[in-house]
Amino acid sequence: MNEINNLALLSTLIAATLSAGTPLLLAGLGLLVNERAGVVNLGAEGMMLLAAVAGFALALATGSDVLALAGGALAGALAALLFGVFAIYLNTNQYATGLALSLLGGGLSAFVGIDYVSRNLPRLPLTGIPWLSDLPWFGPALFRQHWAVYLALLLALLIGVFLQRSRAGLALRAVGESPESAHALGLPVRRVRLAAVCFGGACCGLAGAYLSVIYTPMWVEGMVAGRGWIALALTPFATWRASRVVIGAYLFGGVTLLQFHLQSIGVEISSALLSMLPYLATILVLALISRNPVWIQRNMPASLGRPFTPGQ
Amino acid sequence: MLLEPMRSQLGVWRIERRPAATAWMRWASPLLALLLTAVIAAMLFAMLGKNPWQGLAVFFVEPLRNAYALSELALKATPLMLCALGLAIGFRANVWNIGAEGQFLLGAICAGWVALLDLASLGSVGLISLLLLAGMLGGMAWAGIVAWLRDRCNANEILVSLMLVYVAQLLLAWLVYGPMKDPAGFNFPQTPRFSAASVLPKLIEGTRLHIGFVVALLAALAAWLFMFRARAGHALQVAGLAPQAARYAGYSARRALWTSLLISGAAAGLAGAFEAAGPLRQLTPYVSAGYGFAAIIVAFVGRLHPLGIVLASLLLSMFFIGGELAQSRLGLPNALSGVFQGVLLFSLLACDALILYRLRRVV
């Protein structure tokens, strides 16, 4: 009897970790691509918030999660386009511009979202993957999830292959390592960077819409709650490798859940203190990972954060 | 970019990039950005079906309408000014502390803790001095974590300082829902009201404006002396602008990191202490209206210069008051203030970049 209970608990834990890790994975992968092209976008949190409210509005209006997530991705990409034009073409400071996007995204999403506060979306029934989700043991936990969970994993695989095995991926990395050499080779450095930034925005947008439409599902001001910043910490954690972003995202997803599980097994700690865990874990991991400069710099794009103007 | 030469009877002209910005442009840019923000704001009001002039008046005229309104403007400018002065010293040293919000909250928590202790024997002056000191130390400790992790582990200060904002918010929530909750407060998340001995002296009777504003102005003067007249301030800026030159001159990058973060933390913590002991008089989960984040905008709009920051903090204070007025007068959400703050920073970045281009006669 006890074994069945343990199995059920472990099943729930796996299912919840997959779900909680998905927004971090989506956003982390997007940021990985745009950092590999040499651009740091500190606007992740703002893009996710804008996409969260856009996705929520679309879901409420159409009832379709496909449209909602696509709309979220579009909103994220448009926000990233604004950042990209500033940081890449006008050569504004990348940190300042990203911060501006985070502040604007926070303000604008709160303003637009005021009518959506305390509106409810129906929770979608999860159909899961036929046959596989009927497997015993962890079948339902692993295979009866929203399709975006699998989309995120597929994206990780595709981005990994793209960056390490494709010619276009090589070009993108060249732009991030040495824009001067890439330019001399005839690569359109600024266009590659803009495309990478918009892709990053679209992924952050997917992540934001996933949060408001599938994960919660509701809209509250500031509901992304720092996940954009945690996703930014994922790229150094993963030393800019797609496979390690997957590990990091589920690890942090698991930590966000820890508070619920600790409470459910009767740990007497206030929920506010337990809610600190993901942020403290991020700080701890950043500190540990940054201690070793060789490790961190092995895959770090050499021109990360450096602007480039052709002909100068 | 428009880089093709334009031919006319007046000769051949082209738009080209200037090698460097001149001094007057550095100051013209924020004004231009403000104008651009006002234009965008007017368009937004029109889109929302409001009279644009009325909308702009709520943000840029109403906060100045009489003496009381001006006192409120100065009251809200106080935390913005203090936080931004600290941030500017950091930004000049190329230390990207963006967690002033967290340091502000720690200042408020520590000041609130002192204000709730039974310290009536200290007298009013003693108690107020002690709670302001506690606020500064609280902010310094919070920023000190960032400096320590950056120094010892090379952890990115942007991410660490921001993560600590969330931790500070949750710490405050835990305190006001738990250990510091007012037993007679009908279970509201708030501490008891601070004792009468901790009331800050008012600058003008009948308003909420307290000595914090004067302290903030003095802090601006101190920041100016530190930046432009002190050797330590100079060393810190060289470390930010040219790390190798700084090393050659024997200026320590570690000292720049610690100094700038501890100063930012102390300033933000002091701002939090003033806010708690001044207008609020108790701790709630809503101690900050987002002053720590808006201070980043103040620092940039004020060109990281103390005088500019004094002016910019008054401007951003107008945005905060305008947001509240937009809610009561026009029925628009208060969040509008945040939208305009973001637009202002983007406009500033755009003006800074575009002002670098000039029209020059080629032939």
Asked, for residue A43, whether it belongs to a domain, the answer is yes
Which pLDDT tens digit goes with each residue over B314-360?
999 999 999 999 999 999 998 999 999 999 999 999 998 888 777 77
CB proximity B335 to A under 8 Å: yes
Q: What is the mean pLDDT of chain A?
A: 89
> Once rounded to an integer, what is the mean pLDDT over residues A31-50?
97
Which pLDDT tens digit goes with each residue over A76-120?
999 999 999 999 998 899 999 999 999 999 999 999 998 898 888
Which pLDDT tens digit goes with each residue over A268-283?
778 888 899 999 999 9
> Once rounded to an integer, what is the mean pLDDT over residues B129-134?
97
- Return the exposure string of A46-55: e unless at least 16 CB atoms fall within 10 Å of the residue's CB, then b: bbbbbbbbbb
Asked, for residue A8, whether it belongs to a domain, the answer is no
Residue B18 is predicted with a pLDDT of: 76
CB proximity A294 to B under 8 Å: no
Asked, for residue B11, whether it belongs to a domain, the answer is no
CB proximity A161 to B under 8 Å: no
- Positive or negative, the CA dihedral B71, B72, B73, B74 is positive
With a CB cutoff of 8 Å and minimum separation 6, the contacts of A104 are A46, B339, B341, B342, B343, B345, B346
Q: Strand runs (DSSP E) across B141-226, as ranges?
A: none
Inform me whether the pLDDT recorded for A10 exceeds 70: yes
Residues from chain B contacting residue A89 (CB–CB below 8 Å): 1
Asked, for residue B351, whether it belongs to a domain, the answer is no
> Once rounded to an integer, what is the mean pLDDT over residues B132-156?
97
Going by pLDDT thresholds of 50, 70 and 90, the confidence category of residue A312 is low
Q: How far is CA A172 from CA A176, A178, A307, A308, A310, in A?
A: 7, 10, 15, 14, 16
To the nearest whole percent, how much of chain A has pLDDT over 70? 91
Give the residue, B355 or B282, on which the prediction is more confident. Answer: B282
Which pLDDT tens digit goes with each residue over B170-187?
999 999 998 899 988 888
Which pLDDT tens digit goes with each residue over B231-274?
889 998 888 888 888 888 888 889 999 999 999 999 999 999 99
Asked, for residue A65, whether it belongs to a domain, the answer is yes
Q: Please judge whether A111 and B163 are an interchain contact, meaning their C-beta atoms are less than 8 angstroms apart.
A: no
Q: Please judge whether A111 and B160 are an interchain contact, meaning their C-beta atoms are less than 8 angstroms apart.
A: no
Contact B63, B69 (CB under 8 A): yes
Asked, for residue B362, whether it belongs to a domain, the answer is no
Q: What is the mean pLDDT of chain B?
A: 92
Q: Please judge whether A111 and B338 are an interchain contact, meaning their C-beta atoms are less than 8 angstroms apart.
A: yes
Q: Please judge whether B162 and A86 are an interchain contact, meaning their C-beta atoms are less than 8 angstroms apart.
A: no
Q: How far is CA B114 from CA B99, B107, B266, B279, in A?
A: 23, 11, 16, 17
Asked, for residue A137, whether it belongs to a domain, the answer is no
Residue A24 is predicted with a pLDDT of: 97
Three-class SS state of B157: helix
Residue B363 is predicted with a pLDDT of: 67
Host domain of residue A217: 13-118+144-297
DSSP string, A84-152: HIIIIIS---HHHHHHHHHHHHHHHHHHHGGGTTT--PPPPPP--STTGGG-STTHHHHHSS-HHHHHH
Asked, for residue B324, whether it belongs to a domain, the answer is yes
The number of C-alpha atoms within 13 Å of B238 and in the hemisphere containing its C-beta is: 17
B310: which 2 tokens?
A: 């004094």
Domain count, chain A: 1
Which pLDDT tens digit goes with each residue over B69-116?
999 999 999 999 999 999 999 999 999 999 999 999 999 999 999 999
CB proximity A103 to B under 8 Å: yes
Q: What is the CATH number of the domain that holds A102?
A: 1.10.3470
Q: Please judge whether B174 and A270 are an interchain contact, meaning their C-beta atoms are less than 8 angstroms apart.
A: yes
Asked, for residue A177, whether it belongs to a domain, the answer is yes
In this complex, which of A225, A232, A273 lies closest to B159 when CB atoms are compared?
A: A232
CB proximity A270 to B under 8 Å: yes
CB proximity A83 to B under 8 Å: no
Contact B317, B63 (CB under 8 A): yes
Asked, for residue A306, whether it belongs to a domain, the answer is no
Host domain of residue B221: 51-331
Asked, for residue B363, whether it belongs to a domain, the answer is no
CB proximity A127 to B under 8 Å: no
Q: Which amino acid is at B71?
A: S
Whole-number Å distance between alpha carbons of A260 and A220: 20
Inform me whether the pLDDT recorded for B1 exceeds 50: no
Residues from chain B contacting residue A239 (CB–CB below 8 Å): none
Domain count, chain B: 1
Q: Which residues pair with B14 in a beta bridge?
A: B360
CB proximity B296 to A under 8 Å: yes
Inform me whether the pLDDT recorded for B149 exceeds 60: yes
Q: What is the ipTM of this complex?
A: 0.92
Asked, for residue A126, whether it belongs to a domain, the answer is no
Contact B110, B138 (CB under 8 A): yes
Which pLDDT tens digit goes with each residue over A182-230?
999 999 999 999 999 999 999 999 999 999 999 988 899 999 999 999 9
The number of C-alpha atoms within 13 Å of B235 and in the hemisphere containing its C-beta is: 17
Asked, for residue A195, whether it belongs to a domain, the answer is yes
Q: Please judge whether B349 and A275 are an interchain contact, meaning their C-beta atoms are less than 8 angstroms apart.
A: no
Task: Tally C-beta pairs within 8 A across A and B.
Answer: 134
How far is the alpha carbon of A215 from chain B, nearest alpha carbon, in Å?
A: 21
Contact B177, A272 (CB under 8 A): yes
Asked, for residue B356, whether it belongs to a domain, the answer is no
Q: What is the CATH number of the domain that holds B312?
A: 1.10.3470
